[in-house]
């Protein structure tokens, strides 16, 4: 598949900005980047990280670390400021304003359509099948890809936010085949560590039209770092590097991301995932007793989606108890739905108390 044939011609033709760190090694006497010769804050981290210097645009140790975690080659990895930047970069590189389209399958993560709107790309919506557990309408996706030549990106999420369902491997491969020589399939795996399914990263070498998004924000408990990864064919990575900021990651973020993905952190991540599964199962059992809970989608992630008789009132009630839950009532196909993120043991105890009190107050 010729990736460049579906990218914006002006991006394919452009010469990327060459920063000082891209054009020369960061050793010796550095007089090529108009930096200060020393940091002004006399603290160990500032001295150790040389914060007076620009960080590496493609930090080798972190690229190697994440490539190892995701089981791919370093040439398949681009580190971004969260998955949001990956979504934005893909839309800017592959969608011409007013001409090209993306496909989303709502209800899903809102950033896909927002990135399309910012870029001026058109949006094709293939709604999920609410009566079938919000499963994706694969046949309709295939029809859209066959009949809409302007589609350049198809966004799918597994597990999906907020419904928690998975894209199984046969369905994924059906969509990949439908995308061949037409579009990229962008599979957002932000929550993949919370489920038993295998990551699609292992398919990158087989399907050049596949792009996988990963993040340290969820199971790796590092949302404050804003550190995500685009995993794709090297041609896709090269195109994205042409439009990404010259120095996307601050030195302190690079350092913190290495610590956040250490062996010790990996052990703690596994413990966190196990605790989330335990508390989610307990919450599912608990909410099953309430008549005002009309429907529940357990999913395979760190949240539970449920339809209730009074979503706005429940959200307001929980807020009064100091607990923030997410009201999805205004989104397509999610009328009356709220999403509950799985927290710590103490947080879940307080949530249960608030839910029980809401039931008592609304009998």
Tell whether 299 and 257 lie within a shared domain. Answer: no
Tell whether 235 and 327 lie within a shared domain. Answer: no
Tell whether 271 and 226 lie within a shared domain. Answer: no
Q: At which of 230, 261, 292 does a domain end?
A: 261
Q: Can you give the CATH number for the domain in which 112 is found?
A: 3.40.640.10
Is 39 part of a structural domain of the chain?
Answer: no
Tell whether 199 and 113 lie within a shared domain. Answer: yes
Q: Can you give the CATH number for the domain in which 327 is found?
A: 3.90.1150.10
Tell whether 242 and 296 lie within a shared domain. Answer: no
Is 47 part of a structural domain of the chain?
Answer: no
Residues 86, 228 contacting (CB under 8 angstroms): yes
What's the distance, CA 81 to chain centroid?
11
Q: At which of 227, 261, 295 does a domain end?
A: 261
Tell whether 166 and 234 lie within a shared domain. Answer: yes
For residue 128, what is the DSSP state? -
Ordered per-residue pLDDT tens for the chain, 363 residues:
899 999 999 999 998 888 887 888 778 888 888 888 989 998 888 899 999 999 999 999 999 999 999 999 999 999 999 999 999 999 999 999 999 999 999 999 999 999 999 999 999 999 999 888 899 999 999 999 999 999 999 999 999 999 999 999 999 999 999 999 999 999 999 999 999 899 999 999 999 999 999 999 999 999 999 999 999 999 999 999 999 999 999 999 999 999 999 999 999 999 999 999 999 999 999 999 999 999 999 889 999 999 999 999 999 999 999 999 999 999 889 999 999 999 999 999 999 999 999 977 776
Tell whether 71 and 189 lie within a shared domain. Answer: yes
Count of Cβ atoms closer than 10 Å to residue 156 Cβ = 23
Tally of structural domains, the chain: 2
Is 40 part of a structural domain of the chain?
Answer: no
Is 228 part of a structural domain of the chain?
Answer: yes
Q: At which of 215, 232, 261 does a domain end?
A: 261
Tell whether 131 and 199 lie within a shared domain. Answer: yes
Is 38 part of a structural domain of the chain?
Answer: no
| Helix runs in the chain, H state only | 9-13, 20-23, 44-49, 60-70, 82-94, 111-119, 138-147, 169-179, 234-241, 251-260, 263-287, 311-320, 345-361
Give pLDDT tens digits for 224-279: 999 999 999 999 999 999 999 999 999 999 999 999 999 999 999 999 999 999 99
Question: Do the bridges between strand 151-157 and strand 122-125 make them parallel or antiparallel, or are there none, so unpaired?
Answer: unpaired
Q: Domain range spanning residue 327?
A: 266-361
Tell whether 15 and 118 lie within a shared domain. Answer: yes
Tell whether 238 and 314 lie within a shared domain. Answer: no
């Amino acid at each position: 598949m010729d990736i460049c044939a579906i990218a914006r011609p002006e991006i394919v033709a452009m010469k990327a900005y060459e920063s000082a760190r891209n054009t020369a090694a960061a050793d010796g006497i550095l007089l090529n980047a108009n930096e200060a010769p020393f940091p002004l804050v006399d603290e160990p981290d500032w001295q150790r990280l040389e914060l007076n210097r620009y960080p590496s645009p493609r930090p080798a140790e972190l690229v190697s670390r994440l490539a190892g975690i995701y089981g791919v080659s370093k040439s398949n990895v681009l580190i971004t400021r969260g998955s949001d930047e990956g979504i934005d970069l893909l839309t800017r590189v592959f969608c011409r304003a007013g001409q090209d389209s993306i496909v989303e399958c709502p209800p899903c993560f809102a950033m896909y359509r927002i990135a399309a709107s910012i870029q001026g790309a058109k949006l094709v919506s293939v709604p999920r099948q609410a009566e079938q557990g919000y499963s994706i309408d694969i046949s309709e996706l295939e029809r859209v890809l066959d009949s809409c030549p302007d589609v350049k990106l198809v966004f799918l999420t597994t597990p999906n936010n907020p419904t928690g369902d998975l894209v199984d491997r046969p369905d994924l491969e059906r969509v990949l085949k439908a995308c061949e020589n037409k579009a990229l399939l962008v599979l957002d795996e932000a929550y993949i560590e919370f489920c038993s399914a295998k990551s699609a990263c292992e398919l990158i070498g087989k399907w050049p039209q596949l792009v996988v998004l990963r993040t340290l924000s969820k199971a790796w408990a590092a949302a404050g770092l804003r550190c995500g990864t685009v995993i794709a064919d090297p041609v896709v990575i090269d195109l994205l590097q042409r439009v990404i900021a010259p120095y996307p990651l601050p030195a302190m973020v690079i350092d913190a991301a290495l610590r956040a993905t250490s062996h010790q952190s990996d052990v703690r991540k596994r413990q966190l995932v196990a605790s989330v599964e335990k508390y989610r199962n307990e919450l599912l059992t608990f909410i099953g007793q309430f008549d005002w809970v009309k429907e529940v989608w357990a999913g395979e992630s760190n949240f539970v989606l449920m339809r209730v008789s009074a979503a706005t009132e429940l959200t307001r009630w929980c807020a009064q108890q100091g607990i923030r839950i997410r009201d999805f009532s205004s989104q397509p196909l999610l009328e009356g739905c709220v999403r509950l993120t799985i927290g710590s043991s103490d947080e879940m105890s307080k949530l249960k108390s608030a839910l029980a009190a809401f039931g008592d107050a609304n009998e």
